[in-house]
Amino acid sequence: MADPRQPLRVLRGNEAQFASYVGLSGEPGYATDSRRPRMMTGDKPGGIILAGLDDNGQANSLPALGRPLVDHFGDMINIKNFPYNCKGNDIDPDTDGLQRALSDMVTTGRPIFIPPGRYRSGQLRYPVSAAYSQMGSIFGYDKNLTQIRRIGDNQSLGLLTIGDPNATNFTANINISGLTLNGMDPNLPVLVTYDLVKSVLRQINCIGGSVGYQMYGGITNMLFDFNCDNNGTGLMARGFASKAGGGMPNHIHIIGAFGGNLKYGLDIDGGVNFMLDGCDVEGNGRTFDADSGGLLVGPNMGGDISRIRNYPGVTARNCWFEANKGKADVRLQSGLNAIEHSKFFSTPDATRHDVLIEGGNYMIVNCATGTAKTANLKDSINCERGNYVIGGLFPGVDLVRCSVLAAPTLHNINNPLNATEGLNVYNQPAYAHAGMTVDGPTKIAGPFLNAGGVKVAASGGNYFVPEGSGWVMFTQTSAIANQGCILPVAAGDGHLIEIGTIGTITSLYVAAQGGATVIGTSSDPANPTKQGDPVTLTASTPLRFRYDAAGTRWLRT
């Protein structure tokens, strides 16, 4: 009988091709009975054998390379293996095995592998290591197949806590992926981190807790495919009194989904430079006009930066806000915040506003809403000066601290547009505007068709009347002088504008743009055609003008 142990031969291929298979040591061969490669010598399988071809197509066998396969598996902690012996059957408690694996990972640097299963566990602690190089990683098989579920009473911590509020060094260089953490308790957080630095959390679900992810401090972390659903609040970021020199979260990049949470999808208050990129923030909050909604940026952004009052807070880019309930989809209370290229689809009976700005600075760029509200965008006198709305689509706007409004598709503004700091409005052709309140030098580069008018809280200067306005009202209550009102040039024939006041204006100058004349501004009834003289305006004696297109002039009526 022929010896079945014959040298391995590779019949097809070229010199760049290699065949590899598992073995421990010895000579590669071929078993003629099974017609499969096999190790011909060596006591047990485990090594790696490479076989290649030379230029003539002949086999070149290489000796066993590397360590036995069991050694490779030994580089990773598999929680189902000895001495951890986790079951993952959703019946037996696996707390001891999981905690031992976490402790061994930190002391040895070996990563943890969690196979598919449902692992029932009490609260777990990721200890703080003295060296960054020994910070390990946790790899679940898949977030939909690998789940850790809280069990037990009398607990006070998160299901998984990484770091320690009393630690004197950071917890860094951690990679966690492929897990669902199910808090199973509405009174306790799910994932909690302290001073987590330079780490990546990827493909993770945090569900079923008071907070899905409670972040204390943290520097330069990345959250990818990171989801916090069905918690009290999805993600909550805060500063704390760090003994390691950190304490404030900053430079945090988040891509994920935050939905179905009772209060807010994200609640960020403290630190700087959060980037929300392509996040889906949907179905958060339960009650209209309540303290809830999609994204809350609290009053303490930039608080750790000395001598800088307003520092970069949150940038939300390419995000989707839908079906949230509360005061607004986005609520901004401090920091220099930007909302860019994002969409809003919460109905008027769900949120009062799309974006509510109560403090700090804001930039809203190329955003749009799918529903009309009295004020889709609303800011506050408590905001800092120098804010922008550029591009986009918002049917209702109420802004008192906006400096530049350049939104070509802004339309149907049926709430007064306020500009107490002076406002430049550009490129608004063929859309409706029902009222504007201005205070300070303001230029309106309309036209605003079918407009209701302009309210002027006069403080000196010339006020340009948007084309299409029906009235201009000076809202000051005391007597003032030296006010100017500039009428548009391209009004339709017969168009009427009324100029009124609450308090007396002793010298109101009325002129027109583009070379149009204004006839009848003299207070002398015997000379009604005289133009250019100032007029005394009182609450009981408004001025009325009618546009004569043929004569390119405004006639006092």
pLDDT, tens digit (0-9, with 9 covering 90-100), for 102-124: 999 888 888 999 999 999 999 99
Indicate if the pLDDT at residue 544 is higher than 60: yes
The structure tokens 């070509």 sit at: 408
Strands (E), 62-142: 77-78, 89-93, 112-114, 117-121, 124-126, 137-140
Closest CA to 311 of 364, 275, 271: 271
Report the amino acid identity of residue 348: P
Report the amino acid identity of residue 16: A
Q: Can you read off the two tokens belonging to residue 177?
A: 């992926």
Mean pLDDT is highest, among 144-148, 422-426, 525-529, for 144-148
The 3-state secondary structure of 442-491, one letter per residue: EEECCCEECCCCEEECCCCEEEECCCCCCEEEECCCCCECCEEEEECCCC
**What is the distance between the alpha carbons of residues 127 and 10, in angstroms, rounded to a whole number?**
51
**What is the distance between the alpha carbons of residues 174 and 322, in angstroms, rounded to a whole number?**
33
Q: Among 166-175, 215-224, 234-243, which stretch is predicted with the lowest mean pLDDT?
A: 166-175
Mean pLDDT is highest, among 359-363, 425-429, 437-441, for 359-363
Q: Give the pLDDT mean for 341-349.
A: 96
Which H or E run includes 178? Answer: strand 175-185
pLDDT digits (tens, 9 = 90+) for 278-287: 999 999 999 9
Q: What is the pTM of this model?
A: 0.70
Q: Is there a contact between 366 and 348 (Cβ–Cβ < 8 Å)?
A: no
Which H or E run includes 294? Answer: strand 293-297
**DSSP code, position 127:** P
Give 28 or 241, the one with higher predicted confidence.
241
Q: Among 8-17, 68-77, 347-356, which stretch is predicted with the lowest mean pLDDT?
A: 8-17
Q: Give the pLDDT mean for 510-517.
A: 78
Q: Is there a contact between 228 and 256 (Cβ–Cβ < 8 Å)?
A: yes
The reported pLDDT for the residue numbered 125 is: 93
User: 3-class SS at 524?
Assistant: coil
Indicate if the pLDDT at residue 413 is higher than 50: no
The reported pLDDT for the residue numbered 212 is: 98
Backbone angles phi, psi at 227, to 5 degrees: -125, 135
Q: Is there a contact between 150 and 124 (Cβ–Cβ < 8 Å)?
A: no
Closest CA to 332 of 389, 275, 252, 267: 267
Q: Is 403 exposed, middle or buried (0-12, 13-18, 19+ CB in 10 A)?
A: middle
Q: Is there a contact between 369 and 321 (Cβ–Cβ < 8 Å)?
A: no
Report the amino acid identity of residue 3: D
pLDDT digits (tens, 9 = 90+) for 300-333: 887 544 444 557 899 999 999 999 999 999 999 9
**What is the distance between the alpha carbons of residues 425 and 389, in angstroms, rounded to a whole number?**
10
